[in-house]
């Protein structure tokens, strides 16, 4: 499951095709690349409690090197929810991943001309609340729960939790828990994710990340 952990923690760098209704994509047609995102748009290291050294990445590089093998999922239209894909085509961005006590945390700041419809994404997550995934990383059961998201003036927000377990896994075993908080407005998307039992206030961290990114992005 280690390969799946890394893929899901950094999977905000994958292209989204979430549908508002079956067969209807909420992403617009392909568009020219968006303005660059400076590394300074990311949260300063000292703002993430007890984080280790950062493993940073550029969104374009992450997209070019990511494994695009499709999962075989037994409920249609759920691949993007299971893999946490939130970023549209033509996006630029910067991100990092760090180890923290109890797990990992990552941030992505992206600019795009085709921002995701977070309300439609949440609705799709509700329809894909429990699915079985069978891909190169192995077989797992994905359970997704949408939570109330933090209120951010002038922006759309999304918060959800995903639990990955093995088929037939005894209920006393915890599985892998991942949380995601996303904030979007105009052409900017900020995503905070953690994996494990980090104890981080991810809502507060995401709001802080959104506010911090405003200056370097000229918002």
Query: Which residues are within 8 A (CB) of 65 and not within 5 positions of it... i.e. 6 or more apart?
Result: none
What was the pLDDT predicted at 133?
Answer: 82
Using alpha carbons only, how large is the chain's radius of gyration in Å? 16
Task: Give the bridge partners for 55, in sequence order.
Answer: 97
Closest CA to 144 of 181, 191, 177, 183: 177
What was the pLDDT predicted at 163?
Answer: 93
Query: Which strands form 103-111's sheet, in the order they lie side by side?
Result: 55-58, 92-100, 103-111, 188-196, 176-185, 156-165, 138-147, 130-135, 72-73
Q: What's the CA gap between 87 and 89, in Å, rounded?
A: 7
- CB burial of residue 41 (10 Å; 0-12, 13-18, 19+): buried
On whether the pTM is more than 0.85, the answer is no
Query: Domains of the chain (ranges plus CATH)?
Result: 2-214 (3.40.1000)
Q: What's the CA gap between 216 and 74, in Å, rounded?
A: 42
Helix (H, G, I), strand (E, B) or coil at 102: coil
What was the pLDDT predicted at 99?
Answer: 95
Instruction: Report yes or no: 82 and 71 within 8 Å, Cβ to Cβ.
Output: yes
What was the pLDDT predicted at 22?
Answer: 37
**Token pair of 131, please?**
């699915």
Using the Cα atoms of residue 72, residue 73, residue 79 and residue 84 in order, give the sign of their dihedral: negative
Q: What's the CA gap between 90 and 110, in Å, rounded?
A: 10
Task: Give the bridge partners for 158, in sequence order.
Answer: 182
Q: What's the CA gap between 120 and 19, in Å, rounded?
A: 7
Render each residue's pLDDT in the chain as its tens digit; 219 residues.
544 544 444 444 433 333 333 333 444 445 566 788 999 999 999 999 999 988 998 887 776 555 444 445 555 678 888 888 888 667 899 999 999 999 999 999 999 887 889 999 999 999 999 998 876 667 889 999 999 999 999 999 999 999 999 888 887 888 899 999 999 999 999 999 999 999 999 999 999 999 999 999 987
Instruction: Report yes or no: 44 and 101 within 8 Å, Cβ to Cβ.
Output: no
**Token pair of 142, please?**
């994905």
Q: What's the CA gap between 71 and 56, in Å, rounded?
A: 26
């Amino acid at each position: 499951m280690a390969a799946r952990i890394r893929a899901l923690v950094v999977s905000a760098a994958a292209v989204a095709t979430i549908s508002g209704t079956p067969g209807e994509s909420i992403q617009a047609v392909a568009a020219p690349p968006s303005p660059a995102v400076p590394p300074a748009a990311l949260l300063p290291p000292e703002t993430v409690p007890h984080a280790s050294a950062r493993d940073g990445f550029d969104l374009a590089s992450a997209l070019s090197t990511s494994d695009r093998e499709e999962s075989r999922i037994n409920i249609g239209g759920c691949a993007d929810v299971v893999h946490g894909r939130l970023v549209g085509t033509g996006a630029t961005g910067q991100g990092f991943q760090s180890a923290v006590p109890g797990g990992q945390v990552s941030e992505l700041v992206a600019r795009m001309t085709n921002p995701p419809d977070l309300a439609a994404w949440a609705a799709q997550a509700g329809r894909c609340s429990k699915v079985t995934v069978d891909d190169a990383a192995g077989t797992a059961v994905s359970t997704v729960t949408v939570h109330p998201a933090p209120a951010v003036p002038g922006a759309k927000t999304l918060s959800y939790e995903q639990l990955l377990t093995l088929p037939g896994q005894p209920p006393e075993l915890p599985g892998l828990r991942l949380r995601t908080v996303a904030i979007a407005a105009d052409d900017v998307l900020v995503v905070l994710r953690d994996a494990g039992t980090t104890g981080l206030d991810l809502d507060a961290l995401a709001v802080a990340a959104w506010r911090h990114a405003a200056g370097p992005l000229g918002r």
